[in-house]
Amino acid sequence: MKAIYLDCFAGISGNMLLGAFLQGGVPIEYLKAELGKLSLPDTYELQASQVSKNGISAIYAEVLLEGHHAEENHGEHHHHHRAWADIRKLIEDSSLPDRVKKQSTAIFENLAVAEGKIHNRPTDEVAFHEVGAVDSIVDIVGAAICLDYLSIKKIMVSRINTGSGFVKCAHGLIPVPAPATAELLRGFSAYHQGAEKELTTPTGAAIVHTLASYEENMPKDFRVESIAYGAGFWDLDIPNVLRVYFGEQA
């Protein structure tokens, strides 16, 4: 069966995974067309650019929302909110394939449960700020679209570098890993190494929590066919990329 191994030596985020999928063979026009089935009311653009991180060629996937700057995706501004219940309806009412809908809603549900636990709110009332909501929808639904396109049946993940330090959010400074990230990574092997930055985001952690199984090393019966890299936002001492091994497992 087709499988992938996520090598998270520099963390994982939704857009890092999208970048790796695009470099790994998913046509960006196909991804954009499928995402168009969501009928998002916001005007946004999904861009993919080839970048170099410490000499490693990678794809940086970025969601640009009309009227906002890219830096706003990194917790520096606040906007209107969108509840998880509304996002779920958006996904369920779309014409996306059932498998994509099922995976997307499962990932978002786990993210909302984690956020709700941290903030002591009912899951359906958990809200994502305007930029973050569109980002998360594109990253999560986009990941499910790519998995469906590539017919991936199994996802394995290495130890996960969470990063360290503090990050800005609507509530002020919070520690890295963010509380929701820490909650979602329970049961996985996580560590922090390198710069004081947020390397693993709640969205990346939610995808791992929902779909992946931990494997300290690649299984012996996993035959690697290709490798792709998705770039993160930061320029660090280590390459800020997610390495994805694509292959077959018996």
- Please give the DSSP secondary-structure letter assigned to residue 82: E
pLDDT tier at 60, thresholds 50, 70, 90: very high
- Please give the DSSP secondary-structure letter assigned to residue 151: T
Residues paired with residue 212 on neighbouring β-strands, in sequence order: 155
For residue range 65-106, what is the model confidence (pLDDT) as tens digits? 876 655 544 544 344 578 899 999 999 999 999 999 999 999
- Please give the DSSP secondary-structure letter assigned to residue 39: -
CA dist., res. 196 & res. 2, Å (int): 35
Cβ density class 21-31: b for 16+ within 10 Å, e for less:
bbbbebeeeeb
Reference 59, options 20, 29, 24; nearest CA is 20
Instruction: Please determine, for residue 129, whether its predicted confidence score (pLDDT) is greater than 80.
Output: no
Q: What average pLDDT does the chain have?
A: 92
Instruction: Please determine, for residue 135, whether its predicted confidence score (pLDDT) is greater than 70.
Output: yes
Domain ranges of the chain: 2-249
Instruction: Please determine, for residue 30, whether its predicted confidence score (pLDDT) is greater than 70.
Output: yes
Report pLDDT for 69: 54
3-class SS of residue 61: strand
Cβ density class 126-151: b for 16+ within 10 Å, e for less:
bbbbbbbbbbbbbbbbbbbbbbbbee
3-class SS of residue 25: coil
Instruction: Please determine, for residue 151, whether its predicted confidence score (pLDDT) is greater than 70.
Output: yes
Q: What mean pLDDT comes out for the span 19-43?
A: 94
Q: Is 18 exposed, middle or buried (0-12, 13-18, 19+ CB in 10 A)?
A: buried
